[in-house]
Amino acid sequence: MASDEERKRRGTPRRVHKRKDIEKQWRKGTGRWQYAGEGETDHDQLDRKLSAPRQYQMSSEEQEGEALVLQTGGPTIILLDGENELRARPRRSTTTGNAGATLIAIGDRVRYIDVGEEEAVITHVYERDSFLLRTSIRDTEYAQVLVANIDEVIVTAAATDELLRPGLIDRYLVACAMGGIDACICINKMDLPDEEEEAFISDIVAMYADTGYDVLLTSCFTGEGIETLAARVHGKLSAFSGHSGVGKTSLLNALIPDLDEKTRELSDQSRRGMHTTSRSTLFPLPGGGFLADTPGIREFGLYQFDPLDLHTYYPEFLPFADDCRFPSCTHTHEPGCAVKEAVEREDIHPLRYRNYLQILESESEE
């Protein structure tokens, strides 16, 4: 039988080996093996890079430590075990209790192997109790987890025409409810609005307050509402989340005086926010608890969205939905819809109903 070298010299094809039902064949000219078949997505390639550090000897669970994930989004993951911080990476064989979603997110509880020099290898990610996630912009079948095991999300907006978007706020509130997380609303930069804008903000505050949500008004410039916000997050694992440039990082700096996170000023011309946070981080709070600063986003797709369930995440719809003529009423076009009648009477705020329709239409098209 001819050897591999002889076959290569003669130009004869080499046998195709199988591994996990993927063909593996010799690639001429490179002197290496290559897997055949469909190419990987960008996300698969990223996960493969993240999960391919140098390999270490297997260990038992008794030899592993447990830690909280403090930071993701950079070249390494930062863990906190007690008072010790470790730089970490997952390995190829890292296991997880969270299929179909981001492998590791801030707030995750993980097991790890300490490999010395303040470095660690993550071996397992525990199942999440709660999560804030959105549909990945790369793959709609995949969930991007923004933060895990969180007590409350502070949905943050700013008191400007461009950055106070009730439609985006509603998407966050729905996502929080889907993920089992409490939510409140923070309207920041209250030093900016004029009298006309203040009237609009008052209407928005009343709309959400009537729905049962707490609304905080803050300004890092004047100090308005900062003490109330500090009392709310004390002792909890909380997260700021919202549109880019609403001042989440400035609020974080106000709550943690020793923290020197990068901030930028609003553009004098457009008063639009500028994106400053490129990674997700949990910061310890004075007196106890953690507060997350997540990258600002401009789009928020609801993961595994079911149109028939959307109205259940609008608390003010529920008292009326049972009186609809049809049990499967979507509250859009059906006759005898008690929710639409409540909107006409303004028992349900028309803006909340319009936001509901926009979410229903946009998510159903994807």
pLDDT digits (tens, 9 = 90+) for 134-190: 887 677 777 889 899 999 999 999 998 888 999 999 999 999 999 999 999 999 999
Residues 97 and 188 in one domain: no
| pLDDT, mean over the chain | 81
Assess if residue 3 is contained within a domain.
Answer: no
Residues 147 and 255 in one domain: yes
Backbone angles phi, psi at 161, to 5 degrees: -60, -40
Assess if residue 6 is contained within a domain.
Answer: no
Assess if residue 4 is contained within a domain.
Answer: no
**Is 139:130 a contact under the CB 8 Å cutoff?**
no
pLDDT digits (tens, 9 = 90+) for 120-136: 999 999 999 999 988 87
Residues 105 and 206 in one domain: no
Measured CA to CA in angstroms, residue 243 lies from 150, 160, 257 at distances of: 19, 12, 23
Q: In the structure, what pLDDT confidence band is assigned to residue 7 with cuts at 50, 70 and 90?
A: low
Residues 275 and 224 in one domain: yes
Residues 101 and 26 in one domain: no
Q: Identify the domain boundary among 235, 259, 293.
A: 293
User: How would you classify the pairing of strands 237-242 and 152-158?
Assistant: parallel
Q: Which pLDDT score, from 0 to 100, does residue 255 have?
A: 94
Assess if residue 1 is contained within a domain.
Answer: no
**Is 277:246 a contact under the CB 8 Å cutoff?**
no
Residues 121 and 140 in one domain: no
Q: What is the CATH number of the domain that holds 356?
A: 1.10.40.50
Residues 64 and 91 in one domain: yes
Residues 145 and 217 in one domain: yes
pLDDT digits (tens, 9 = 90+) for 223-279: 999 999 999 999 999 999 888 889 888 999 999 988 865 444 333 433 444 444 456
Assess if residue 157 is contained within a domain.
Answer: yes
Residues paired with 214 in a beta bridge: none
Q: In the structure, what pLDDT confidence band is assigned to residue 208 with cuts at 50, 70 and 90?
A: very high
Query: 72 or 31: whose pLDDT is higher?
Result: 72
pLDDT digits (tens, 9 = 90+) for 39-75: 444 444 444 444 444 444 455 566 799 999 999 887 7
Backbone angles phi, psi at 38, to 5 degrees: -70, 145
- Give the type of residue at 21: D
Q: Identify the domain boundary among 293, 316, 343.
A: 293
Residues 140 and 75 in one domain: no
- Nearest partner of 362 among 211, 167, 101, judged by Cα: 167
Residues 332 and 225 in one domain: no
Following DSSP, what letter does each residue of 254-282 receive, concatenated?
HHSTT------PPPTTT--------SEEE
Assess if residue 300 is contained within a domain.
Answer: no
Residues 151 and 256 in one domain: yes
Q: Identify the domain boundary among 293, 315, 348.
A: 293
Q: In the structure, what pLDDT confidence band is assigned to residue 34 with cuts at 50, 70 and 90?
A: very low
Overall number of domains in the chain: 4
Structure tokens at 34: 């290559």
Assess if residue 302 is contained within a domain.
Answer: no
Residue-number span of the structural domain to which 28 is assigned: 14-41
